């Protein structure tokens, strides 16, 4: 395995329960960011975390065979791409309906691909193992894993099986888990430049690399299959992570591959800071909003830059600003820059923000300081009573980096409302001067 976050694709005929399973698998990371303004989720791609393992889930949804044409031929392009990009395929069948001709066709297709496949029999709630599964062995894909996506049964063993096929152990942290690298203290800022084709990613990167000498230095874990370019700027070491199809051609970078959501997701997962580049001439598109949603879910630090600012007039500028407020309201913590990569305007300030976003993600918050800030916050404004109990916030410590997590201990904390949580978050953000990074607050109550 490379250092990439593994990709799991869900494949199967319509109605077997793929999207239900997708929601189950990805919900593990959704919890904190439910209802934010502008946030629309991509129904086909999601990030998941089980144990300490991160992975990406793709719901192909695209096996829509028609009677006249073979299933493989009818397979949506999107589905083929998702399967091609997957490390392991979960082939979902319906335990109640039993095997169909379509299932056989899909199985034949998957066997030819030679990828690891896990056969999943969904809707298996209340069914006993044994004879009922026998027919699924006909598919020649080995053991069947019974689950009930609707009732949340069998999922852990499904994830375990999938990870085992990849030679991974759930208990082991992901190699792409930036927290681990940070604790190893290599100090290299891993930067992913994300954005749709043609927003100017290559132009910007070439502008950066053209200004600075490319300094090669050894990086542990640099893999063959991922393009990771080390460079140095103002004494800071960076590693540029390959996103959607940036390829090096001689001395310059070019976007030669078609856009790949999976690659973008992998780059986001592997980064400390994600620079999301937008195009001023187009405003915020749906695809931009989806990428932004992925970044939010990943917990990575984010900086927004609207490129091609040179190419738009005052009226268009206002439209862009409004579309950012409307569609990317959930990234309020991200610094926003208006730049021209081509004319090299705004590049320096953007760089400063990237470094600050990294430092914010990696901030060290000593327990005595956190606890003092907590007490000051409570003294300024105490949490509301719930009936005749008032939550008591006693002390705080840091629970992690990238994103920083603050763990607050006390009593009756289950009565602390969202508004108060946001109040605390704002106080801590200000005190530590955090930009770009999400800040997570966990409440641990003693009673
Ligand atoms: P997809 O077309 O493969 O994405 O399937 P969906 O996720 O949309 O599910 C199709 C139908 O099966 C829906 O009515 C679901 O509620 C139902 N379903 C999904 N998972 C289960 C399950 O575990 N048990 C049962 N009994 N029904 C399920
Ligand atoms: P990528 O696909 O995101 O890597 O985008 P490119 O860097 O290849 O840029 C796509 C197009 O936008 C090219 O024609 C660039 O010259 C142009 N472009 C990039 N940056 C700017 C900019 O700041 N202003 C203007 N007007 N055009 C730009």
pLDDT of residue 245: 46
Rounded to whole angstroms, how far apart are CA atoms 419 and 410? 18
Q: Does the beta carbon of 197 sit less than 6 angstroms from any atom of ligand 2?
A: yes
Which residue segments constitute the domains of the chain, with CATH numbers given?
A: 7-174 (3.40.50.300), 186-362 (3.40.50.300), 367-445 (3.30.300.20)
CA distance linking residue 344 with residue 305, whole number of Å: 13
How far is C-alpha 287 from the geometric centre of its chain's CA atoms?
A: 15
SS3 166: coil
Q: Contact at 8 Å (CB) between 110 and 11? A: yes
Query: 370: exposed, middle or buried (C-beta count within 10 Å: 0-12, 13-18, 19+)?
Result: buried
The pLDDT tens digits of the residues spanning 253-274 come to: 554 456 678 888 888 988 999 9
* Sheet of 392-400, strands arranged across: 392-400, 405-411, 440-445
172 close to 53: Cβ distance less than 8 angstroms? yes
Query: Taking the chain, what is the end-to-end CA distance rounded to the nearest angstrom?
Result: 44
Burial class, 387, CB count within 10 angstroms (exposed 0-12 / middle 13-18 / buried 19+): exposed
**For tokens 């490390």, what's the residue?**
87
Q: How many residues does the chain have?
A: 447
How far apart are the CA of 199 and the centre of ligand 2, in A?
6
> Which-ligand-closest: CA of 252?
2
Measure Cα distances from 244 to 62, 140, 258, 268 in Å: 22, 35, 7, 11
Region 212-227 average pLDDT: 43
Residues 23, 144 contacting (CB under 8 angstroms): no
Work out which ligand 1 atom sits closest to the CA atom of 59: 4
Q: Are 294 and 45 in contact (CB under 8 A)?
A: yes
- Check residue 166 and give its pLDDT: 85
pLDDT at 361: 95
> What is the pLDDT, as a whole number, of residue 262?
82
What mean pLDDT do residues 12-26 have?
A: 91
pTM: 0.80
How many of the other CB atoms lie within 10 Å of CB of 299? 26
- Determine the average pLDDT of the residues in 334-345: 95
396 has a pLDDT exceeding 90: yes
Q: Which residues neighbour 165 within 8 Å (Cβ) at sequence distance 6 or greater?
A: 88, 116, 118
pLDDT at 295 over 60: yes
Give yes or no for residue 148 CB within 6 A of ligand 1: yes
200: nearest Cα among 327, 340, 300: 340
Name the band, by pLDDT with cuts 50, 70 and 90, for residue 134.
confident
CB 48 within 8 A of CB 29: yes
CA-nearest residue, atom 7 of ligand 1: 17
- Per the model's pLDDT, the better-predicted residue between 242 and 362 turns out to be 362
Beta bridge partners of 276: 194, 304
pLDDT band at 68; cut points 50, 70, 90: very low
Ramachandran angles phi, psi of 267, nearest 5°: -65, -40
Residue 63: per-residue pLDDT: 53
Lookup: tokens for 136: 């699924």
For 196-224, give one letter per residue: b (16+ CB within 10 A) or e.
beebbbbbbbbbbbeeeeeeeeeeeeeee
| Nearest to 373, CA basis, from 324, 315, 439, 320 | 439
Least trusted range by pLDDT, from 134-138, 188-192, 213-217: 213-217
Ligand 1 in reach of 195 Cβ (< 6 A): no
pLDDT exceeds 90 at position 128: no
Share of the chain above pLDDT 70, in %: 79
CA 308 – ligand 2 centroid, Å: 7
Ligand 2 center–CA 204 separation, angstroms: 8
Give me the pLDDT at residue 410, please: 95
* Ramachandran assignment for 78, one of left (phi > 0), alpha (psi -120 to 50 degrees), beta (any other): alpha
Pocket test for ligand 1, best of 17, 103, 126 (most atoms within 8 A of CB): 17
In this structure, what are the phi and psi dihedrals at residue 368, rounded to the nearest 5 degrees?
A: -60, -40
Window from 130-134, 251-255, 397-401 with minimum mean pLDDT: 251-255
382 secondary structure, DSSP code:
P
Residue 53 has a pLDDT of 82
Q: How is 302-327 classified by DSSP, letter by letter?
A: EEEEEE-GGG--HHHHHHHHHHHHHH
Instruction: Supply the pLDDT for residue 66.
Output: 43
Indicate whether 27 pLDDT > 90.
no
Check residue 150 and give its pLDDT.
94
Query: Rounded to an integer, what distance in angstroms lies between the CA atom of residue 242 and that of residue 106?
Result: 32
In whole angstroms, give the CA distance from residue 11 to residue 25: 14
Contact 293, 41 (CB under 8 A): yes
**Lowest-confidence pick of 168-182, 184-198, 262-276:** 168-182
Six token digits for residue 193: 């430049």
CA of 211 to the centre of ligand 2 (A): 18
Contact 127 CB / ligand 1 (< 6 Å): no
For ligand 1, the distance from its centroid to the CA atom of residue 123, given in whole angstroms, is 7
Residue with structure tokens 């395929």? Answer: 89
pLDDT of 256 reads 47
Ligand 1 contacts CB of residue 24 (under 6 A): no
From ligand 2's centre to the CA of 229, what distance in Å?
A: 20
Which of residues 61 and 196 earns the better pLDDT score? 196
- C-alpha angle 301/302/305, rounded to 5°? 160
Give the separation between CA 155 and CA 161, rounded to whole angstroms: 10
Q: Is 310 in the pocket of ligand 2 (CB under 6 A)?
A: yes
| Atom 16 in ligand 1: residue holding the nearest Cα | 150
| Sequence ranges of the binding site | 12-19, 59-63, 122-125, 195-202, 242-246, 307-310
Over residues 24-31, mean pLDDT: 68
Predicted pLDDT of residue 351 = 92
């Amino acid at each position: 395995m490379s250092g990439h976050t593994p990709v799991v694709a869900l494949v199967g005929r319509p109605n077997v329960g793929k999207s239900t399973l997708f929601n189950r698998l990805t919900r593990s990371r959704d919890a904190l960011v439910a209802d934010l303004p502008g946030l629309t989720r991509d129904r086909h791609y999601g990030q998941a975390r089980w144990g300490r393992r991160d992975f990406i889930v793709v719901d192909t949804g695209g096996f829509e065979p028609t009677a006249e044409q073979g299933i493989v031929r009818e397979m949506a392009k999107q589905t083929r791409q998702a399967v091609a990009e997957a490390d392991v395929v979960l082939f979902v069948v319906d335990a109640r309906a039993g095997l169909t001709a379509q299932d056989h066709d899909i199985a034949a297709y998957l066997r030819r691909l030679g990828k690891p496949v896990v056969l999943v029999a969904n809707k298996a709630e209340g069914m006993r193992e044994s004879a009922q599964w026998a027919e699924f062995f006909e598919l020649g894909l080995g053991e069947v894993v019974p689950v009930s996506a609707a009732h949340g049964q069998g999922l852990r063993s499904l994830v375990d099986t999938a990870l085992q096929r990849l030679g991974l152990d759930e208990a082991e942290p992901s190699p792409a888990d930036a927290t681990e690298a940070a604790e190893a203290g290599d100090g290299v800022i891993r930067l992913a430049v994300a954005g749709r084709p043609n927003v100017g990613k290559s132009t910007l990167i070439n502008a950066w690399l053209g200004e600075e000498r490319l300094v090669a230095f050894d990086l542990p874990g640099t893999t063959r299959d991922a393009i990771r370019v080390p460079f140095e700027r103002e004494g800071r070491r960076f590693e540029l992570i390959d996103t959607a199809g940036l390829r090096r051609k001689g001395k310059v970078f070019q976007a030669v591959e078609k856009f790949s959501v999976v690659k973008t997701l992998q780059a986001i997962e592997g980064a400390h800071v994600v620079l999301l580049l937008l195009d001023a001439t187009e405003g915020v598109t749906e695809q931009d909003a989806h990428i932004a949603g992925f970044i939010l879910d990943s917990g990575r630090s984010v900086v927004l830059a609207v490129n091609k600012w040179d190419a738009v007039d005052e009226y268009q500028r206002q439209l862009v600003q409004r579309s950012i407020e409307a569609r990317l309201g959930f990234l309020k913590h991200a610094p926003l820059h208006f730049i021209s990569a081509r004319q090299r305007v705004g590049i320096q300030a953007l760089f400063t923000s990237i470094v600050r976003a990294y430092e914010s993600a990696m901030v060290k918050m000593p327990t005595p300081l956190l606890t003092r800030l907590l007490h000051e916050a409570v003294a300024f404004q105490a949490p509301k009573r719930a009936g005749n109990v008032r939550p008591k916030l006693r002390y705080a410590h840091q629970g992690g980096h990238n994103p920083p997590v603050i763990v607050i201990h006390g009593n009756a904390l289950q009565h602390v409302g969202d508004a108060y949580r946001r109040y605390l978050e704002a106080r801590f953000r200000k005190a530590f001067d955090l930009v770009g990074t999400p800040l997570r607050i966990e409440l641990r109550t003693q009673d």
